[in-house]
Copies of this chain bind each other. A is one copy, B any other.
């Protein structure tokens, strides 16, 4: 339902990243992270043609909702989104955060219906990739097919990492792992690996990591006291990356 409107429109608050919204894959500075990763420039052009670029999503807006018909997968161009499932008794489970260059929506393929909801944590620009077109293109473009298989496989391994985290690790370790994950993903985008702003609330963090808000808060305080992290509301500075890595104690 609340998916993309195709008319581009520049938004005030979003200006800092003042790209043309009709940018194409070839010139997108994320193309080394995103779907075009494995493609020749000629293939990129074909991919480009099926991608729909809509107006940015505002904070809180839905990209798709659980139960919506599955039509497309989505690449984040700027901003951050969270994906979450709603359990039968109405509680939420955040299943992932998605940063620029990352793909979401693949859980909808199996039932032709989105298995989770996705909404913007801040203003976000999205590339919509209609799935039937992607399928057709994949059939004639082995590297794209392979790359898309790989993307889905990566989603699986990442979910398994989270499963391990939830199943085996303490609150401190979970928070450390999340900080490390965000740090790593920032670094891939050539942003600071040690200083960043969390786009999500403490509630979302707790929800994602299977902890209460209070515990999240206490862990942050504790780590601050131990000079591992500097926490100022959503601003995070990792003071001792090795220590965070040791605490997280996951390969990622």
A interface list, Cβ under 8 A from B: 85, 87-89, 91, 93, 95, 106-111, 115-116, 135, 138-140, 142, 145-146, 148-157, 159-160, 162-164, 166-168, 207-210, 249-251
7 contacts between A and B (CB under 8 A): A87-B164, A87-B250, A93-B160, A108-B153, A135-B146, A163-B163, A166-B167
Is A160 in contact with B251, judged by CB distance below 8 angstroms? no
Apart from A109-B153, A152-B152: 6 A-B pairs, beta carbons within 8 A: A85-B160, A85-B164, A107-B160, A135-B145, A159-B160, A166-B210
Which of B109, B163, B168 is close to A162, meaning CB atoms less than 8 Å apart? B163
Is A168 in contact with B87, judged by CB distance below 8 angstroms? yes
- In the assembled complex, the CB of A47 is this many whole angstroms from the nearest CB of chain B, namely 16
Contacts A135-B145, A138-B145, A142-B135 given; does A93 touch B164 at CB 8 Å: yes
Q: Which residue of B lies closest to A141 (CB)?
A: B139
Is B153 in contact with A159, judged by CB distance below 8 angstroms? no
Residues of B contacting A116 in the complex (Cβ-Cβ under 8 angstroms):
160
Residues of B contacting A115 in the complex (Cβ-Cβ under 8 angstroms):
156-157, 160
Is A156 in contact with B107, judged by CB distance below 8 angstroms? yes
Contacts A91-B168, A93-B167, A135-B145 given; does A156 touch B155 at CB 8 Å: yes
- In the assembled complex, the CB of A46 is this many whole angstroms from the nearest CB of chain B, namely 15
Is A110 in contact with B162, judged by CB distance below 8 angstroms? no
Complex-state Cα separation, A4 to B84, whole angstroms? 39
Residues of B contacting A110 in the complex (Cβ-Cβ under 8 angstroms):
150-151, 153-154, 156-157
